[in-house]
Amino acid sequence: MNLKIIIGGIVIVAAVVFGALSFMESNVEYMGFDKAISSKKKVQVKGVWLKDKESFFEASTRQFSFYMKDESGVEQKVIYGGARPNNFEIADAIVVKGKYENGTFNASEILTKCPSKYEAKPATGNTGM
């Protein structure tokens, strides 16, 4: 058999395997904190920041910690290995990606959902006539 065909086949199989593994890694499921506790894989949790609970950035460990409540009302401490996102305070919702470990949710990524500046403003009832 021709050596070029064998090498080409190996390259194609390796590319398909690499693509499948990359897809499995990037396919992160949404769930609440209650299900994330029992899950052993990386998950996404959507919720809101609990502004009345403590949140701080620890400079020595470079970790930002805060509390959030998911869509089903479960409150959880989140530790993120990085600084607080710039628009964290004005976010309508927060999505954290990571794993639940040792009593906290360890986030590897924080996504903020901010209010749109393109949304229509509520009518005031004054027609200007």
Structure tokens, 123: 């009518």
Asked if CATH classification 2.40.50.140 holds for the domain at 31-113, the reply, yes or no, is yes
pLDDT at 65: 93
Whole-Å CA distances, 92 to 27, 35, 45, 47, 124: 24, 23, 14, 9, 23
pLDDT single digits (tens) 74-100: 899 999 988 888 888 888 889 999 998
Task: Give 114 or 13, the one with higher predicted confidence.
Answer: 13
**Whether residue 4 has pLDDT greater than 60:** yes
Domain limits of the chain? 1-28, 31-113
Task: Give 78 or 2, the one with higher predicted confidence.
Answer: 78
